[in-house]
Amino acid sequence: MSKRITASIIAATILVLALVVQLIGTVFTGEEAENETMGLFAGSENLEEKVVDRGSGSKRIVELNLEGAIIDNPSTNPNPFGGGGYQHDRFMKKLEAIKEDGSIKGVHLYVNSPGGGVYESAEIHDKLLEIKEAGKTIYVSMGNMAASGGYYVSAPADRIFASNDTFTGSLGVIMESINYQELANEYGVKFNTIKSGEFKDIMSPTKEMTEADREILQTLVDESYQQFVDVIVEGREMPGSRVKELADGRIYSGKQAVENGLVDDIGFREDTLKALKKEIGGDPQVFQYKNTMGSFFDLPLAESLMPNSELRYIEELMSKRQGPRMMYMYTD
């Protein structure tokens, strides 16, 4: 049997599994659906620890990685095929566990993200504030990029490190949609829309945006933008007027971010951890949470039989979110 035929069989199997998952989701609801479907593919969701630097168990530092777009995959439609990327629910469970663990004195948060959803970014930010209120110290180490929502979640940190070449900033909100009305007209495609109110189809890709539509959406963007400004004012102790000067959407290098007061120090992950250890004092133990949930596409059998590009394309199609939304996101 040729590799191409084998790949086709695997692709067909994946689609069948996706239909089964969707069917389960119609039978079960909420947490029950998540348990039924994720249990088939992901195993236990218990948070397991891995000690990376032995020290005092009564004075510990946890290392967390926040990588990729900060976007939630709805628990009402669990996707066992997209487990390889950022998992919002699991990340929030880690933050809650950190807040409740009295032995944890410091949090080393590595952020490498272009941002993400307004809701998800705000949820992480608020939970980090709760962790600080519980008496824990938070240091952030920025990776290649910590832009927009990536900066939003970094703002509450007691100290922020970035490399000279880190891309950060992009402070602001964006909402985008695609309009293909003219293209549809060119091919004779017509759309019939029945709605209950004038603005029910706002941002529809099948009609031109009106000035009234734009005004409504701009007020929503402005509200989220002001929330972003307030987060930076509080986290960086910076006047609102100065924040608005910086928050025009532009990207800053790590060096520029330090000069503008958005970042405290130039350094890498090891520099951040070293500084946090010194702040905590003594000989703190350093640990991480193990990643126990993987993607179906990361299984050796799937990777050996299907080209990686095809795997990721199918995964992207299955996990892609539909519809416009407000984002704290850097877009190039």
Q: Are 157 and 140 in contact (CB under 8 A)?
A: yes
Give the rounded percent of residues in the chain with a pLDDT score beyond 90.
61
User: What's the rounded mean pLDDT across residues 107-121?
Assistant: 96
HSE on the CB side for 164, CA within 13 Å?
A: 0
Q: What is the pLDDT of residues 76-90, one digit of tens each?
A: 344 444 445 789 999
Position 116 scores a pLDDT of 94
Catalytic one of 148, 154, 170, 295? 148
> Is 148 marked active-site?
yes
Residue 73 pLDDT grade (very low, low, confident, very high; cuts 50, 70, 90): low
pTM of the model: 0.77
Catalytic one of 195, 200, 274, 290? 200
Average pLDDT, the chain: 83
All domains of the chain in start order, with CATH = 3-329 (3.90.226.10)
Long-range contacts: 305-311, Cβ < 8 Å, 24+? Answer: 305/3, 305/6, 305/7, 305/10, 306/7, 306/10, 306/11, 307/7, 310/7, 310/11
